[in-house]
Structure 1
């Protein structure tokens, strides 16, 4: 599923007799320019058939499927991954108490702040683990759920999707618990974070011991908050982001806000000769590396594409957010950067506060953008591109970086060295021409000034040479 307005792909099961159908899996919007495997566990108690439905989202996008198969039994998943669809994958409660994490689906009616869909299937019938902050629970009360044992390794990374929404949402902590019982905090998130699934990742500590992943939920101050977790993966590949992302491997936890925008940000390579497919080179490698971009040929004037970061920790000395962008094309549109946190979000500002903006054609070069922030709580960024009046050009982002402290001055652009030399030569020639013109004008003025002085001197000399006897004096009439 690749394209700016790619649409929706759905998998449904339909009863042969009644013709009633149930949605069991769906995806919408940009999912990457590569094949992805999907597995869906279904339990059939009567004769049913599988329906695959694709809907057109707009004028740009491709949806393709290949290699369908049906197998008996539950879906076979890697040991390092759990989507909570068939069962709990060996995850267990730390204590067998009434309060704790529960295995639910979006269709289970508990409280309104619970996710209506899971992350795996994006449907109400999909499952995840969930902990509420109901009135029967005391603030500060906690519950832990523990994974099966994983084998230690180098450069491992834990990925998961989480949902934290509702008044008084508490805290989610993720730990690495080694076989000797030691706990290492991997990540922590707190408070209201919007009504959507968010991605998080953290590098695992290299302790030399096998370990388990522990997810802890802590009840907040209100009774409407909820915390949910889905699609937990322990990967043998190093984490990407969030402090730095060059988009070479993936989107680094940056994601499209499909529920709020009109078109999508796409990840692509450079060196493409096709129109409206992004810059010819990325910023990272200055050749065929990856970046994210918006297809400016799609949609109408004013259409928006929103790119959401993961949740970022606050810093005691402030932080500098640096990114590289390219805006090339006549009336290409506007690029904006917003910052948000749970306090701002609670006031109704879905995008947050505007921190930076740029509009119009900025040339076929990469420019550096920087903003300094001094957030006292966890926060996130949102890039917004708003389409201009024309349907040509490129708007792209690459090499996003967050560093501690103030922003350091850096070169403002990374245009081609030949372009820089040409600009330098052009400026030198212009200065030389201006100098020559100035010299000529100065000489002319000097000559004119000298000529005027000579005339005045001749006239004065002539007057001084006149004798009184040469004067014809006449009496004036009275």
Structure 2
């Protein structure tokens, strides 16, 4: 059969592939595949990677791998290769059981899991068609699923153009599990280029899309805008700013009156202060020691050979960079490109310094991504001044702060001479706290950073919990920090200063990405923790709440505009999470009409009292059980044919529910007191049915210990309520939890739980036995053996009574 499969694939043009070869459709050239339709029928783009070779005006270049590879080609040099894959019963190290596009086992994706060498002789490499002329806003997004957690960077994406190879993205260390998003920025690319996915781990890839890569569309320019050729317009603030917004580059021509420093030759009269704990260094990526957080290219040339400056040092500290002495003539603006990556504790500060004072003009902090983002600062005044760029490295010395393309507008007139930093006196009062401490009670005492935003007020004035994200926004952003890098950002008050809240406003970034805001580090949270939002998406807006902890950011909830401006309410479960974690708000709205009126944390303190007992029939509430968020695949309360009354409430998880992308659904109890007297018996009624329902587990977890499996069933058990029980051992530590977990194989089936009960003493031996599990009922020996209908060779029944199938025991 395998030989016939290879032969069939060879006849189709790709050995081993069920898809036809893209080579039959031709390849791109420099005059095509530039993300723009230059012919009326888009025929110049139809063979450049679009699904089924069909390019439509305005459509993004995307491939979902449903029946085609869209020109993506396996270029591996060993037996470890990429191939089209489909869902199947999931086991560790194998393909995911469903694709991302359809969420079913009938959907296709690209996979490296088969023909795995141990270890692989070389990475499996998947290369795109040849493309050309990516705009400065171009980004590549995709979804990937890793069956096992590999080392940091075991799955990578790189860009090849003009003889250069530029790393764009690498997988984080904790990447295994359900489908996860991947986002990378190509930067401006002139001429032809390709991107390549490489992996030394088992990984699946789906829904690859290039967004915002085409030239600007045709429109009428405003009076103050500069027209582009062949189409598009550029605002005055983006003329001569170091980024080509016009496809012909005309917006970056005629810039002789601007003072630009690309750091390619020298420091351009910018000077590093040697008296700080850290220093600025100038170099290029190809010569700097490798670091996961440091830039892999500069902004000016978009290559590893281009130069930039970065904060050098192996310990926390700060570095300062001084401009020449300047005076403002009309208006003075600085445009810079910054790279802040690897730590939330990093900070870039921009100051205006005269002989008498230093004033903070701009500050950006956090991990803003592995790419160069555009930032602006405006300076006013009549005195001579210098611009001071301060890079502050926090606790993680492997993090990165880098700068490139510092551009001063013609109104920043350079003067001769320098002046010393102004003297500042320490104000009288209490001894200030250390950098990693928090000053509370008006500076009377200092708290450790782990006591801030832990959902428990330790300061008498509650200031340690006042800037943690819960707010009605009457006094600023309530602890939310804007980390946007695109053309929209989160601002306090939004469009209407008379109505407090968080809203959207214009931003100086060059990307067309979502506005993002994050909380400080939070946690630990309780089992019942939830977030309550009062919001307005606007007629066409989009709003999402995500959480980031040990794993990359995961969307917990989202809402889209429904054509109205009505205020809405949502409660989003967080559950028990270890410190640290952060919440993130993501949003977009064309007219900036989106707003958030309030955010509240409900029952999040880790010391929250727990409901006693595990018993519940789910008729009136969840009795302290809660559903862990799981990429849309979650336990939910349903009303129907329950076990308790025949028409009541029960909990169910449906793999086919819209938006279900996760592999597992988990129902978790509140932490319980220890079992000091004897073992206990947990009994419950369940339904497990459907050909792809997967495996249903009962687990127990003690505080600080790993989860243990107490009971499990795999595959359909029939369309009826069945009773099960398991003994919880006496030795469990205080705070143990019970977990119902479904690991689905596909999308067809359902699982339900009802009438959970906990009783003292071990579970009694069952009065009935269906022999579905090895060692069931302690029956063995005497010549009796367990058998399946398909293996009796005619010596027994063809199917069992329990399941009515040949797979039943």
TM-score by length of 1: 0.46
Compare relative contact order (CA 8 Å, sep 6+) and give the higher one, 1 or 2. Answer: 1
Higher helix residue share: 1
TM-score by length of 2: 0.29
